[in-house]
A and B are shown apart, each in its own frame.
Chain A
């Protein structure tokens, strides 16, 4: 005989059933997000919901910064003013020669019939906070899709490359730093023009040059700049400096650790560079990649 409990004891499904339901839902979401990237619209909607909360959370911090700036002493301001004036004088001297050099450079380029490099458009953005996800290296900036930011654009500061825009929300965007484990950037050694690819080491502070032969001509202190062959990063921007080389005869490749040139932790402002306008279109893929691991990596990097 069926026996139903009275309605005031009814508490819905058993806790274990409920847990299983939500765990399976979460696992499904994670697989969709990590392997197939189908969950982007849901993520954008949720992020838009969370945006006012984030603004509210940021308000007291901004207020504190504003108050601290207001009360910064006059002495400090004057010292800063003097330093800036001195810097400007030096820069002015450089600027005079720069004009001449730029003119000369254009002429030389025309002589070798090299394609003229147009200056890229850039957007100034401010770093709002570093990503709270401890498993990846990301920062959030205050410009988004409404300001013309697109996924894949390179981001630099006044010293060198910071990273690449990986996710764009209407009002914010997310930058993956060059030190992130999933980030790769084509580089070139300034001293001898050797090309390589630098990967984030995953420890949050360094980059690795992988798959360089043990006898490759790389020395401690070599400066690595972007090579520009990827069509995303403009060539010649500093990326990192070689910090440590381990050559072990037992391995075919050397272990090369590099320190990044730019630090997203130190600066508030960054520049998001637009795409190079006169870049030839990318060649068509001949066939779909076979291995899923490869496909994922290619998508992540575009």
Chain B
């Protein structure tokens, strides 16, 4: 069944595009949300995406730095996001060949588990440091992020799907 599925050959990724999308995801997380429960962590999703698709260009170090940025901007415990994001990046890089073998919805299921795992790590760290339990509704953010996986895949792979040169005189 899987052999029947057509595979598309993608163009080289542009590092500037990766940086731009990561920055946009960070900006999304920094929007002045007012007590919205179930908000998807777009930055975690985009980090997971690039770790799965470009494991040689996005990795644990970059995820760690981005997590530190989130911590400082959120006033959270310094290192909490850095910890969760670096473990997330590691798991995504390790699983990237397996994940890419599946079609899009089973991929989203894998990503859901990865995101839930990173949220659980953050929760355990914060509860150990004396934080309050935010309620189970907090975990719905990962579910929404996983539902967005097909959309994110479409958007972030879009530049790589463009033809490199458009040949107007091509006979076919």
Give the B-binding residues of A (Cβ under 8 A).
11, 15-16, 18-19, 22-23, 25-30, 32-34, 39, 42-43, 46-47, 49-50, 53-54, 56-58, 61, 128-138, 140, 167, 174, 180-182, 202-204, 265
Contacts and interface: CB of A to CB of B under 8 A. Distances in A.
A102 B89 CA distance: 64
A15 B60 contact: yes
Given A15-B93, A61-B32, A132-B33, A30 B77 contact: yes
A128 B138 CA distance: 22
B29 interface: yes
A56 B27 CA distance: 8
B78 A133 contact: no
B142 interface: no
B130 A57 contact: no
A26 B76 contact: no
B76 A46 contact: no
A133 B132 contact: no
Contacts of B126: 135
Nearest to A47: B72
Contact of B78 (A43, A134, A202, A265): A43
Given A30-B77, A47-B73, A202-B132, A53 B30 contact: yes
Q: How large is the interface on B (under 10, 10 to 19, 20 to 34, 35 or more residues)?
A: 35 or more
A49 B131 CA distance: 26
Return the 10 tightest CB-CB contacts between A and B, nearest first: A46-B72, A129-B32, A135-B131, A29-B79, A202-B132, A134-B134, A26-B83, A50-B73, A30-B79, A33-B78
Contact of A134 (B32, B82, B83, B138): B138
Contacts of B133: 135, 202
Contacts of B152: none
B26 A34 contact: no
A100 to B, nearest CB: 42
A33 B79 contact: yes
B75 interface: yes
Given A43-B72, A46-B69, A182 B130 contact: yes
A57 B33 CA distance: 10
A132 B69 CA distance: 13
A287 to B, nearest CB: 25
Contacts of A133: 74-76
B96 to A, nearest CB: 11
Given A19-B87, A22-B60, A34 B129 contact: yes
B34 interface: yes
B125 interface: yes
A23 B83 contact: yes
A29 B80 CA distance: 9
